[in-house]
Structure 1
């Protein structure tokens, strides 16, 4: 079984997976972003997720700053879960993941289309070079050491 943290990995993908890498996590965010789900019952009904798993995921999102709890009823005391800016920023990743799923994991036509709410035109996610523009060939993308990489421990230490 995979652990919940990837401490040995010095990588922002690993850090992101610690927050949203569990099987239900991105579906919860998807429903909050694109289906307007905010209440515990919305997520439970829409996903059919076990209540204990849903509670753990929502609590984890609140702790990580992806969502915030907002009391909407005093009697009985009830809360809704609202995406923060950090949570809403996952929309780009979900569109990219959906495009990948449409191409490689779905038979036939895409089951969901993402459109710009202002004009109704289709929305896509692109990888763009700051100098050259869109990068269509993944073989043209390299990973290199960034400024956040800690120095390697010395062999003599």
Structure 2
């Protein structure tokens, strides 16, 4: 989890590949109306996010029911969103934490993504950081971050 540009997709894909799990990007589950709103620089409300969270929770439940591991890259900025998604003790959370300047630089370098640098401030304002033990500094190289996640999760 983390704000836009924190490396969720990059790290998540690499982790999933290394452990043989399927990768899912929560961005792909946003309804088109929400994507349109964000692409116009309008932050989503909790009501806007509910159908998205329901889709993600359904995905998590399905993977758990099938006994299949997965990596889900998801912002999950608020405690209430995480509580909704962490429906089973087998679901683990890693918070990719970085400072504003680093993340803004990453967002500016991205191509063809609906999240704009102007939206980053609203994400930091909405962010309710999770428990410290889930924090992982993103200033390291992606391979090192994935290695640390694997060590923490025992995978």
With normalisation by structure 1, the TM-score equals 0.29
The structure with the largest alpha-carbon Rg is 1
TM-score normalized by structure 2? 0.30
Indicate the structure whose relative CO is greater, using CA pairs within 8 Å and at least 6 residues apart.
Answer: 2
Question: Which structure has more helix as a fraction of its residues?
Answer: 2
